[in-house]
Amino acid sequence: MRVIIILVLSVIIYPAAGLCLGTASRTYIVTDSNYFGNARVSYTVHGKKTTIKNILQTDGQNIKALHLNTVILIPKKGLVRVNFTNALTHEVFDFVVADKGTTVIRHYKPTMITQEEKKAAYMSEQLVNYYADNCTVVISTADDKHVVGKFAGQFIADNGARINIKDGNFDIPMNQTN
């Protein structure tokens, strides 16, 4: 008798417990969402892997998930600029690197006086700016259609905080400005 009373009370206090008895049921709806578009970016910060494309379709709506701020060739200098924002987290990446091959950036710090030729910067979800302390960016393709590359490295904020970004890669259409 005690067992029946405990079971009845548990169903009243915690209705999901009735699932075991077959007296209650719950329907769980999982909405589908997916990314699509002609731009793809992936990276890992603080152990959190992010993979994103231009558009996130969720609940029947398209949301701009990846903003391509500046993606241009700088031909006279043999450079490419790749600047994009993850609109879902507000993270921003900004690279100016060689338009082919490997670029290593050490101890980058922006200045108001001169415009740096090569740079790597990251703005976190908390809106903290980090600058490449030791970052490698490898561009495998940079043509009039798109830029493909990978990146990884250690970045440092003005207050001395350090983060590691790894497994970064992108395939982004060229000449996109949003």
In a domain, 9, yes or no: yes
In a domain, 178, yes or no: no
In a domain, 150, yes or no: yes
Domain that holds residue 122: 32-173
> Are residues 20 and 71 part of one domain?
no
The tens digit of pLDDT for each residue in 35-90 reads 567 899 999 999 999 999 888 887 778 888 899 999 999 989 999 999 999 999 99
Q: Is the pLDDT of residue 24 over 50?
A: no
The tens digit of pLDDT for each residue in 94-116 reads 999 999 999 999 999 988 876 76
> Are residues 101 and 64 part of one domain?
yes
H, E, C per residue of the chain:
CHHHHHHHHHHHHCHHHHHHHCCCCCCCCCCCEEEEEEEEEEEEECCEEEEEEEEEEECCEEEECEEEEEEEEEHHHCEEEEEEEECCCCEEEEEEEECCEEEEEECCCCCCCCCCCCEEEEECCCCCEEEEEEEEEEEEEECCCEEEEEEEEEEEECCCCEEEEEEEEEEEECCCCC
Q: Total structural domains in the chain? A: 2
Q: Considering the entire predicted model, what is its pTM?
A: 0.76
